[in-house]
Amino acid sequence: MIPEKRRRLRQLFERFVPDARFDRWAQQQPWLEDFALFSALKDVHSGSSWTSWAPSLAAHEPAALATFAKAHARELAQVRFEQYVFFRQFQTLKQKCVESGIKLMGDVPIYIAHDSADVWSSRELFQLTEDGSLIVQAGVPPDYFSETGQLWGNPIYKWDKLREQGYRWWINRMRAALAMFDIVRLDHFRGFEAYWEVPGDATTAMNGRWAPGPGAALFTAMTAALGPLPIVAENLGLITPEVEALREQLGYPGMSILQFAFGGAEGEVNEFKPHRYLRESVVYTGTHDNDTTVGWWNSEPGGDSTRTAAEIEKEHAYARRYLNTDGREMNWTLIRAALASVADTVLIPMQDILGLGSASRMNLPGRQAGNWQFRFDWSQLTPDLTKRLRELNTLFDR
C-alpha cells in the first residue's frame, strides 16, 4: 500500500505549483525542513539508520546539509508537498469533526524513535554516544505483559539539558499535538515522575534502574506557554503514590482498564474495579496495548500473558460473580459495565464492539514489528450493533 500511495503522490507532485497558501503553511512549520532533509537522506541511504550515514550528515552539520539540499532540491520539495497534502486533509477532517460535535483525542508518547528526525536534529537532548548509539534506553521492568520486562529501544532525554532550555522542545511538541487534537492522552505518565533506565546494549529490560523524571516543572512550563492542557494521564503499570500525587497535583484525569479489574489477590484493593472509579477518570474496556476483550477472556497461559491456568480460572470466577454474567458475550458485558460507571469518559475499542478475538489485537507491548495492522470494514458495523450501542449510551445518560 505504501509504495502505491507514494507513486500517486509523485504523480500529484509533478502537477503541483506552490501557491501562497502552501508558502504560508510551510513557514508555520518549524519542524518541516529537518523532516524533509531526514526523509530525503533516508531514501538516499536505502532506509538505513542515521547513525550509519557519513559523520558530517549524522552530526547534522550545516555545511554538509546545505550541500545535500542543493543536490536533492527536488526530493526535498516533494517531501514538503506530501506533508502539506496530509496536514491539509487532516485539518479538513478536524473541521468536519468540529461541525459534528466530535472531539479528536490524540496520543503523545513520552519517548520517540531513535531513528527519527527529532533525535537526529536534536541529538544534544538525548543520552547518546559520540557515534549516536544509545547509552541507555527506555523500557519497563517485568510486569503483567512480560516476565522479562518491556525493552523499547527509545533514547532517554537529558532532562537537565531540557530544563536549561526552558523545556522548549517539549513545548513545541505539545503545541503541535494540540493543533491537531482536542484532547491528548499522555503515554507512560509515570515516566515523568521516575522512569526505568536500561543499558543501551541490554537484550531485556530486567536489569535497569529507576531514575528521576522532570516532575511538575515540565508541565508548569508547558502550561505557562500554552495555557491549561487537556491531558489524560496514562497512569498504568507500576504506579507509586508519588506518581498519583503528581497526577493529582496537575489535575489530569487518569485511566481505568476493565480487563485489569478481576485479577490479583483476594481482598486486594484494585482501583480498576468499577465501584472504585472516580468521576474524573477515563475508563476503557481495554486499550491498544491490551488483547481484545474476547481474546483476553479466551486467553490461555503462555504467549504474552504471565498468568497461570489457576490464576486465569480465579480471575474468570471473580469476573463472573462481580459482573453477574455467565461469561457469554464478555465484550458486551464489559461495555455495559464501563458505560454504567461514574467515570466521566468511556472509550471502547472497535474490536470490542465488533466482538473480535486476538487476531485483531492492535499492539503487543515490547514487540517491535507486526503491530498496528488492524483494519475494519463499515459493513461489519451492522444496524443491530449500532442500535445496541445507542441503547446502552441512552440508558446510562452518555
State whether 277 and 387 are in the same domain: yes
Other C-beta atoms lying within 10 Å of the C-beta of residue 363? 15
| End-of-domain residue from the set 67, 102, 137 | 102
Cell of 213: 523524571
The pLDDT of residue 268: 78
The pLDDT of residue 305: 62
Q: What is the mean pLDDT of residues 334-363?
A: 96
Q: What is the mean pLDDT of residues 197-226?
A: 97
Domain count, the chain: 2
| End-of-domain residue from the set 102, 117, 133 | 102
State whether 31 and 108 are in the same domain: no
51 in Cβ contact with 132 (< 8 Å) = yes
State whether 168 and 270 are in the same domain: yes
The pLDDT of residue 374: 93
The pLDDT of residue 95: 96
Q: What is the mean pLDDT of residues 273-285?
A: 95
Residues assigned a catalytic role: 187, 234, 289
Cell of 90: 487532516
Q: What is the CATH number of the domain that holds 108?
A: 3.20.20.80
State whether 232 and 280 are in the same domain: yes
State whether 27 and 158 are in the same domain: no
Query: Which residue range is the domain that position 7 belongs to?
Result: 1-102
Q: What is the DSSP string of 345-358?
A: EEE--HHHHHT--G
The pLDDT of residue 143: 76
β-bridge mates for residue 136, sequence order:
199
State whether 151 and 189 are in the same domain: yes
Amino acid at residue number 372: W
Cell of 287: 486499550
- CA pair distance 180, 184, nearest whole angstrom: 10
Cell of 49: 539508520
Would you say residue 65 has pLDDT above 60? Answer: yes
Q: What is the DSSP letter of 158?
A: -
State whether 290 and 379 are in the same domain: yes
Would you say residue 380 has pLDDT above 90? Answer: yes
State whether 42 and 159 are in the same domain: no
The pLDDT of residue 37: 98
pTM of the model: 0.90
- CA pair distance 262, 254, nearest whole angstrom: 19
Other C-beta atoms lying within 10 Å of the C-beta of residue 314? 17
- CA pair distance 338, 343, nearest whole angstrom: 8
- CA pair distance 261, 269, nearest whole angstrom: 10
Mean pLDDT of the chain: 94
| End-of-domain residue from the set 46, 80, 102 | 102
The pLDDT of residue 312: 92
State whether 218 and 362 are in the same domain: yes
- Tell me the per-residue pLDDT of 152-177, one tens digit each, with 9 for 90 and over: 999 999 999 999 999 999 999 999 99
State whether 221 and 366 are in the same domain: yes
Which residues, 6 or more positions from 188, have their beta carbon under 8 angstroms from its beta carbon? 109, 110, 111, 195, 234, 237
Q: What is the mean pLDDT of residues 179-203?
A: 96
- Tell me the per-residue pLDDT of 127-151, one tens digit each, with 9 for 90 and over: 999 999 999 999 999 876 678 888 9
The pLDDT of residue 303: 60
State whether 232 and 157 are in the same domain: yes
State whether 35 and 119 are in the same domain: no
